[in-house]
Each structure stands twice: as C-alpha cells, then as structure tokens.
C-alpha cells in the first residue's frame, strides 16, 4: 500500500520546514518550504498546515526557525525574541491547544537553557524533531488502541480530516480506521464533507483513496439521516481540545453529529493524543472558539456561480463543543478512556500522560 510521506519535515539542505500545502489538495500534492517563523505563522493562519497535532509541531519548528532567523549573538536577547515569537505564533489559531502545548514546551526549554546562541538554536531544532517523532509514535498507539473497538464490516461516519495530513503522520481518528483496514477488517466510511473548508471532501477522501479504504462523501446534514436509518455502526472524529470533564472541542458540526449518534444509541468516539487535553479548562465552555473570516462561507459557488445574494453576511464558527455525556469513549495513546471522563482523565493526569 502506498504510504504518505510525513505532512511536515525538516529539510537539512535548505534549512527549512517542508510542509504539504493542504490548500492545494486534492488537485496537487505539493510541498512548500517555510524559512522563517513568519512563514510558519502564515501557513497555520491560512490553513496550509491544519489539524491540531500538525499545527502544534509546525509551531515548534517555527520556534526553531525563529532562533535561526534572528541575528542576536547574545543568548538573553535571543530568549526575549523567542518569547515574542511564541506570543505571535499562539495568536494564529486560538482553539487547538496543541499549539499552546508545543510553544510552551519550546519556551520551557528556552527558559531553562544556559549556553551559547548556536547551542540554543541546535537544542530547539532537536526538540522540534523530537515532538514530531513523538507525534507519530502517539498516533500509532492511538490507532492500535482504537482499532480494537472496530469490527469487521463496520460502517463509520467521520468528520473533518484527522489523517496523516492533520498530524505529522498516520493520523488520529482516521489512523484508527486505517489501522483497522490494515488489520484486514472491512470498513466503509461516510465522510462528512465538512463545510465550509471541506476538509472531509478534499482531504479525508483523498487520504482514503490512497489507502484503498472504501468511502462515500456525504453532505454534513445527511449524517443524521444515515445514523437514524440504522446504516451506521460507529461515529469517529478527532479533537482540537478536550476539557478536564471530557467535553470535546472539534470541527464545527461535531456536536450535531454526536447528538444524532447519541439519540440513536450509536457509539461516538473522539481520538486524540494526550497533548490535546487541557486540564486548565474545566469544561468546554471555557475554551475559545475560533471565528474565521465570513468570506470562507460566503465564497461558496455552485455550478461556477456564487450562491449568496450580494451583501449577504455570515458567521463562520470553526469549532463547536460536544458535551462529554454524548461520547462513549476517548481514544488516546495511553488507552481508551470511558465515562465518567472527569475521573478517567484525572487518573490519566495523575499516572502520567504516556503511562
């Protein structure tokens, strides 16, 4: 089976971060070279790189690039510049907590560091590489843990893109599906197209094609009908942030999908690395929900024509909050957590995220 290359990687030759330009898929698979922290911020903001784990690792490399781009010969000045860059990167997208997690990780290293500028540059690059490798390792464990929940013949609805593209490699929720498929289980996927940026129709469908997993794209609103008709066995999606009580913040539409699953007794699972858990947010309402440019909604065309009347206005909420009571389980690299989630998450925090 054809394997994707990593969605992002450090290129020694050009001393840049190479990322798959997700805005060009599925038409074209193209890598873009990011040379500065500003390039990285722009790529995250414009969703050239997207998906919570990919955003986090990309920002970590952004910090490493910041250390290289500055002309400071004084470590203290470089440290101050890195803190400024951290703030700047954090402002790109507010909801995915992996971004905060990665930048804070890098800044913790900066704060503890004593040594020369060139040593700090090398340390930051090596830390970013480590976060990238750990992401792949975590995703493989998520996939193995989650695949145990899937049965031969399962029909699954998934939302947004949670595959290799949304991570460094392999994926979270889509990684679970991919693993089950690689284990020989016959899985059929209904892919929510995921308005307005169409991550499902463009990216998940593209990945499933690569892996040879059968699927059909559906409009987001069709999921409820399919679930109620008894045509779906499980619902599986990712997370941008998970609050301490198990509320899941994910791509807008996840809440309605989970409601339909719950109302029909169909299990719904969120799959994510433990770096997506935000123990500082007691529940989903404490999490900032990104509101993007209304043009992403208004620019919709049908048969080559803009669909909305001139002067139409829109609100473009990028994420929503799924209350924990609608979820059957949380799939992480440390195992599958079951309700009550406030307790299973607290245990996870206590024993250590990777235990």
Residues in the site for ligand MRU, rule: CB under 6 A? Answer: 50-53, 96, 160, 162, 166-167, 172, 199, 237-240, 250-251, 318
Cα dist from 197 to 69, 92, 160, 233, 295, whole Å = 32, 17, 9, 26, 11
Q: How far is the CB of 177 from ligand MRU (least distance, A)?
A: 12
Q: How far is the CB of 44 from ligand MRU (least distance, A)?
A: 9
Helix axes 117-147, 173-182, angle to 10 degrees: 60
- Of 67 and 163, nearer to ligand MRU (C-beta) is 163
Q: Look up 240 and say whether it is catalytic.
A: yes
Cis status of the peptide bond prior to 26, with omega within 30 of 0 = yes
Q: How far is the CB of 213 from ligand MRU (least distance, A)?
A: 17
With CB atoms as reference, the residue minimizing the distance to ligand MRU is: 238
Distance CA 267, CA 258 (A): 9
CA 151 to chain centre: 25
- Of 233 and 296, nearer to ligand MRU (C-beta) is 296
Query: Which two tokens mark 219?
Result: 């409009």
Q: How far is the CB of 166 from ligand MRU (least distance, A)?
A: 4
CA 26 to chain centre: 18
- Of 275 and 328, nearer to ligand MRU (C-beta) is 275
The continuous run of DSSP H or E covering 321 comes out as strand 319-322
Distance CA 167, CA 160 (A): 13
Confirm if 241 and 288 have CB atoms less than 8 A apart: no
Q: How far is the CB of 21 from ligand MRU (least distance, A)?
A: 14
- Of 110 and 260, nearer to ligand MRU (C-beta) is 260
Q: How far is the CB of 239 from ligand MRU (least distance, A)?
A: 6
DSSP 30-77: -EEEE-SHHHHHHHHHTTSS-SHHHHHHHHHHHHHHHHHH----SHHH
* Nearest Cα residue to 86 out of 101, 69, 72: 101
* Nearest Cα residue to 65 out of 53, 81, 54: 81
In terms of Cβ atoms closer than 10 Å to its own Cβ (0-12, 13-18, 19+), residue 184 is exposed
Distance CA 86, CA 59 (A): 8
- Of 123 and 333, nearer to ligand MRU (C-beta) is 333
Q: How far is the CB of 153 from ligand MRU (least distance, A)?
A: 25
- Of 86 and 163, nearer to ligand MRU (C-beta) is 163
> Which residue of the set 39, 240, 278, 320 is catalytic?
240
The continuous run of DSSP H or E covering 271 comes out as strand 268-271
- Of 250 and 258, nearer to ligand MRU (C-beta) is 250
Active centre residues (catalytic): 240
């Amino acid at each position: 089976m054809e394997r994707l290359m990593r969605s992002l990687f450090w290129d020694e030759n050009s001393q840049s971060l190479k990322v798959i330009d997700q805005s060009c898929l599925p038409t074209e698979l193209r890598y873009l070279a990011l040379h500065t922290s500003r390039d990285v911020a722009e790529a995250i903001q414009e969703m050239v790189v997207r998906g919570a784990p990919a955003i986090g690792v990309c920002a970590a490399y952004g910090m490493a690039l910041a250390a290289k781009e500055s002309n400071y010969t004084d470590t203290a000045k470089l440290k101050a510049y890195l803190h400024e860059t951290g703030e700047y990167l954090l402002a790109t997208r507010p909801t995915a907590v992996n971004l905060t997690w990665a930048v804070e990780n890098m800044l913790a290293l900066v704060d503890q560091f004593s040594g020369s500028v060139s040593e700090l540059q090398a340390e930051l690059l090596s830390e970013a590489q480590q976060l990238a490798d750990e992401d792949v390792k975590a995703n493989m464990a998520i996939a193995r843990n989650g695949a145990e929940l899937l049965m031969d013949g399962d029909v699954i609805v998934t939302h947004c893109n949670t595959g290799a593209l949304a991570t460094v490699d392999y994926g979270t929720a889509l990684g679970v599906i991919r693993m089950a498929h690689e284990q020989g289980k016959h899985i059929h996927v209904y892919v929510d197209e995921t308005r307005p940026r169409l991550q499902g129709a463009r990216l998940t469908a593209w990945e499933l094609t690569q892996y040879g997993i059968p699927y059909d794209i559906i409009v987001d609103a069709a999921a409820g009908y399919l679930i109620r008709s008894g045509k779906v066995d499980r619902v599986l999606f990712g997370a941008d942030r998970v609050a301490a009580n198990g509320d899941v913040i994910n791509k807008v539409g996840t809440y309605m999908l989970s409601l339909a699953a719950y109302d029909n007794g169909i299990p719904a699972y969120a799959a994510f690395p433990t770096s997506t858990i935000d123990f500082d947010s007691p529940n989903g309402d404490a999490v900032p929900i990104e509101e993007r440019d209304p043009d992403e909604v208004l620019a919709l065309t049908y048969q080559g024509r803009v669909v909305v009347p001139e002067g139409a206005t829109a609100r473009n909420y990028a994420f929503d909050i799924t209350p924990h009571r609608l979820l059957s389980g949380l799939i992480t690299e440390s195992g599958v957590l079951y309700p009550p989630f406030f307790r299973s998450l607290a245990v996870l925090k206590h024993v250590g995220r990777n235990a």
